[in-house]
Amino acid sequence: MSGGTVVRGWVGEAVGRRLRDPGFWAERAAIFALIAVVVVFGILSPNFLTVGNLEAVLLAGAILVVLAVGQTYAVVTAGIDLSLGATPTLASVMVGYVVGREGGTLLACLLAVLVATTFGVLSGLVISKGGITDFIVTLGALSVATGLALLISDGRPVEVFDPFLLTLATGSIGPIAYLMLLALVVAVAGHVLMFHTGFGTHLLATGGDKEAARNMGVNVDRVKVTAYAISGFLAGVAGIMLTARVGSAEPAVNTEFLLNSVASVVLGGVSLFGGRGSVAGPVAGALLLTALLNGLTLLGVSEYWQPVAVGSVVILSAFLTRYQR
């Protein structure tokens, strides 16, 4: 037997072993499910696999992608950011408030991001220094942000006429819309930060085993605060994208953002116990959810069924995570 055959046989066996390992599938569930959804809807609906519709899916998914990346940072620390249900709204209302008072786009966007980031930092501080669980703190933050959005806007939506935001919403480089580009930048930056920097390793270590990380001298409190700051920052970015897309700032809470961001993270194979996950997975999860909703709409399924579909997919995928190793 030649050396080449031995190597090839060995590689084949290794690949076979991976393919038979349920963990391999569980980690990549979102990507395979995304492919499956695209294929199924492509067969069922002639309009699904058109360039125009795929662009629409990516554009509609852009905001969720940004939020999913933020949620991922909270979840890998073994936490969760429930405030993502309201901080994008609050950021959007801030944009409306400043633009409405002729404060300028730049100031509006800066303030929006600043307020949302502050929410993240404060949540992180209360969680790490105060020793209160993530769930409760961010639930409180969700409520506070909801209230602040109502107070600032006086409970009324305002239209936002702003050339910059209009360009952001409608412009593109070639076929790639600015909003898609922004989501892509966030996803790539989120991936690089998590897997190619010292902070990323400390983040995963803190989420995986806080005590071990602390013993090795990792400042676990600072890691936690930074993770929530990132989540808050991205909520601010998402708020700006939202304002640009709908052309107005609405104080109504977006519970789908919260649910779908958590769903994307679960679909993306991020362990809810922390310490393990990816950015690509949740991004695929976010696109999967968006494609699913788009496909159901194209098929004429009542939109009342959509939450049912999302919920079922999430629970199904959570089952798969049991096979993660």
**Which stretches of the chain bind other proteins, using CB under 8 A?**
192, 195-198, 200-202, 204-205, 207-209, 211-213, 215-218, 271, 275-276, 325
Q: Please state the closest distance from residue 166 (CB atom) to other proteins, in A.
A: 33
Pick between residue 141 and residue 203 the one whose CB is nearest to other proteins: 203
What is residue 301's three-state secondary structure?
A: coil
Alpha-helical regions (H) of 77-104 = 87-100
Pick between residue 36 and residue 212 the one whose CB is nearest to other proteins: 212
Pick between residue 86 and residue 194 the one whose CB is nearest to other proteins: 194
Q: Please state the closest distance from residue 278 (CB atom) to other proteins, in A.
A: 12
Give the Cα separation of 323 and 24 in Å (integer).
9
Pick between residue 25 and residue 195 the one whose CB is nearest to other proteins: 195
Q: Please state the closest distance from residue 212 (CB atom) to other proteins, in A.
A: 4
Q: Please state the closest distance from residue 187 (CB atom) to other proteins, in A.
A: 17
Strand partners, 158: 249
| 325, amino acid identity | R
Q: Please state the closest distance from residue 70 (CB atom) to other proteins, in A.
A: 21
Q: Please state the closest distance from residue 136 (CB atom) to other proteins, in A.
A: 25
Pick between residue 245 and residue 276 the one whose CB is nearest to other proteins: 276
Q: Minimal CA–CA distance to 84: which of 293, 246, 245, 228?
A: 228
Give the Cα separation of 132 and 211 in Å (integer).
17
Residue 78 Ramachandran class (φ > 0 left, ψ -120 to 50 alpha, else beta):
left
Give the Cα separation of 81 and 258 in Å (integer).
8
Pick between residue 55 and residue 209 the one whose CB is nearest to other proteins: 209
| Chain position carrying tokens 């300028």 | 104
Give the Cα separation of 85 and 306 in Å (integer).
18
